[in-house]
């Protein structure tokens, strides 16, 4: 056998060996890449896959950063649809399910939560509306920076507290302040509305109408517990269903806007009649008896229910922490503050003359109407309802003249074009309807005085 023939016989097996080695190399490379590029749409999947047992808020921020960067990379690679799914996961799969949002609310501020939630919304929106790689990356990086800033406050100096086991994210004082802030912040709107309605009924001689208001409030508390349990169940099935919480709260707020608009106009329209003629006052009382009791009770139900489920969801993780006794203390003190506000409204209503009282209550309802509109639109923004829509709600650009702070946040005022513009429009409509009602009342007053004068002459 010649040398050439021997080489030819060796070439076949050698070629097969080279092919096998090439296949093994490619397979191992792909396997490594897959292992290296594992991305998870939920926090539970992430910690399970990585066998994480204890973690702090810096770890949570790192996990969200991984998902946000992956969404950016997918978008830059042209996979907009998948990028949007991962952008949604940063909020509903991680920020809410880890308790990051609630701890930020408790230990930093509600205004900070609103600001960060806006960044989540803008990040999703920039992908959904295909605003370009530069905008998507800028929004994502801004969000990541904010999360790491908050994580350093919640877990200072990278402390390795065992958040997963329910360890406290702060001291007893911080827990107390956080618990107090939650109940006062969320309960203030409800107590103002319920207190105003009850004061109105007592002042106008319709005390029997107070019962439906109390019934509506108690029923709302029961509904809040049911809704909180349902939302927790839905989150356990699929974390993305936490979108439903924002949507439910948003729809409830917008429904409250419609009811409060009616109640505000109803109160101001009755003010002159209640103050100037017993005949018109009798008609007002008849109106309360016949149909408006249900409206007032429903208004109380909406006001309490809109806040109730959220309060319960905020308190649940806090009660698993180290200082749960301080949670109850903060809750108790907050309830006392709300009761004081309620009593003050009752005392104020007794001392205030009838007509000014009705006017004040009407204005309060109108203000709350505007506040609920801002809060409702913002909740729907966070729920992703407007992400792909080509109008101002889908592009909630910040307004530099309006700061983020807890006072404005409580009253539904945010530096967003998508909330401020509708609120301005509603405020103008309310002013116009108030002026029309005031002019109508002036005519009623003039007519009543004329009838009184005519009766005196007779």
State residue 186's pLDDT score.
77
Nearest 5°: the CA angle 189, 192, 198 is 140
State residue 19's pLDDT score.
47
Q: What is the pLDDT of residues 217-260, one digit of tens each?
A: 899 889 888 887 777 676 666 655 555 667 777 777 787 788 77
State residue 26's pLDDT score.
42
State residue 63's pLDDT score.
93
Q: What is the pLDDT of residues 306-344, one digit of tens each?
A: 778 778 777 766 676 667 788 888 888 988 998 888 888
Angular region, 130: left φ>0, alpha ψ -120 to 50, beta rest = left
State residue 93's pLDDT score.
86
Cβ proximity of 195 and 341 under 8 Å: yes
Tell me the C-alpha distance between 122 and 119, whole Å.
5
Tell me the C-alpha distance between 94 and 60, whole Å.
8
State residue 123's pLDDT score.
92
Residue ranges of the chain with pLDDT lower than 70? 1-37, 157-171, 204, 232, 234-245, 269-292, 316-318, 320-322, 349-355, 384, 387-401, 403-407, 410, 448, 451-452, 455-458
Domain ranges, ordered by start, for the chain:
7-37, 43-156, 170-457
Which stretches of 50-160 are DSSP H helices? 57-76, 80-88, 100-107, 110-128, 133-154
State residue 150's pLDDT score.
92
Cβ proximity of 176 and 156 under 8 Å: no
State residue 397's pLDDT score.
54
110-128 vs 80-88: helix crossing angle, rounded to 10: 170
Number of other residues whose CB lies within 10 A of the CB of residue 390:
9
Place of tokens 């005390």: 207
Q: What's this model's pTM, rounded to 2 decimal places? A: 0.62
Cβ proximity of 355 and 264 under 8 Å: no
Long-range contacts, stretch 135-143, CB < 8 angstroms, 24+ apart:
136/72, 136/75, 136/76, 136/83, 137/72, 137/76, 140/68, 140/69, 140/71, 140/72, 143/68, 143/90, 143/116, 143/119
Q: φ and ψ at 416, to 5 degrees? A: -125, 130
Cβ contacts of 348 within 8 Å, gap of 6 or more:
199
DSSP 291: I
State residue 165's pLDDT score.
40
């Amino acid at each position: 056998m010649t040398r050439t023939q021997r080489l030819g016989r060796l070439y076949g097996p050698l070629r097969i060996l080279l092919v096998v080695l090439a296949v093994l190399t490619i397979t191992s490379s792909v396997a490594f890449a897959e292992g290296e590029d594992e991305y998870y749409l939920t926090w539970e999947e992430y910690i399970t896959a990585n066998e994480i047992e204890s973690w702090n808020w810096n770890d949570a921020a790192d996990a969200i950063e991984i998902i946000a960067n992956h969404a950016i990379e997918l978008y830059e690679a042209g996979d907009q649809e998948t990028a949007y799914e991962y952008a949604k996961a940063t909020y509903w799969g991680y920020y809410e399910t880890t308790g990051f949002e609630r701890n930020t609310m408790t230990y930093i501020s509600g205004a900070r939560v609103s600001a960060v939630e806006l960044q989540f919304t803008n990040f999703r929106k920039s992908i959904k509306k295909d605003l370009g790689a530069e905008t998507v990356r800028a929004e994502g990086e801004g969000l990541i920076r904010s999360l790491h800033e908050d994580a350093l406050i919640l877990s200072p100096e990278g402390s390795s507290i065992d958040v997963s086991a329910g360890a406290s994210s702060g001291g007893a004082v911080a827990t107390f302040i956080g618990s107090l802030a939650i109940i006062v912040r969320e309960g203030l709107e409800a107590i103002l509305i319920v207190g105003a309605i009850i004061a109105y009924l007592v002042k106008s001689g319709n005390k029997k109408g107070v019962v439906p208001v109390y019934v509506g409030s108690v029923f709302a508390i029961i509904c809040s517990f049911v809704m909180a349990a349902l939302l927790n169940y839905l989150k356990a099935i699929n974390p993305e269903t936490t979108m439903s919480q924002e949507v439910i709260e948003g729809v409830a707020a917008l429904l409250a806007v419609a009811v409060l608009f009616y109640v505000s106009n109803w109160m101001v329209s009755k003010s002159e009649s209640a103050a100037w003629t017993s005949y018109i006052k009798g008609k007002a009382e008849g109106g309360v008896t016949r149909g408006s009791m249900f409206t007032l009770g429903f208004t109380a139900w909406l006001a309490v229910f809109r806040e109730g489920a959220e309060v319960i969801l905020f308190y649940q993780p806090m009660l698993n922490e180290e200082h749960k006794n301080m949670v109850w203390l903060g809750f108790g003190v907050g309830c006392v503050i709300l009761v004081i506000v309620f009593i003050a409204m009752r005392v104020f209503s007794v001392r205030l003359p009838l007509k000014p009282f009705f006017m004040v209550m009407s204005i309060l309802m109108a203000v709350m109407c505007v506040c609920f509109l801002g809060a409702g639109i913002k909740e729907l923004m966070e729920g992703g309802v407007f992400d792909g829509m080509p109008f101002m709600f889908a592009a909630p650009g910040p307004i530099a003249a309006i700061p983020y702070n807890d006072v404005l946040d409580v009253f539904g005022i945010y530096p967003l074009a998508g909330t401020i513009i509708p609120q301005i429009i509603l405020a103008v409509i309310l002013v116009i309807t108030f002026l029309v009602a005031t002019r109508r009342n002036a005519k009623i007053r003039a007519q009543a005085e004329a009838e009184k004068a005519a009766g005196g002459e007779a």
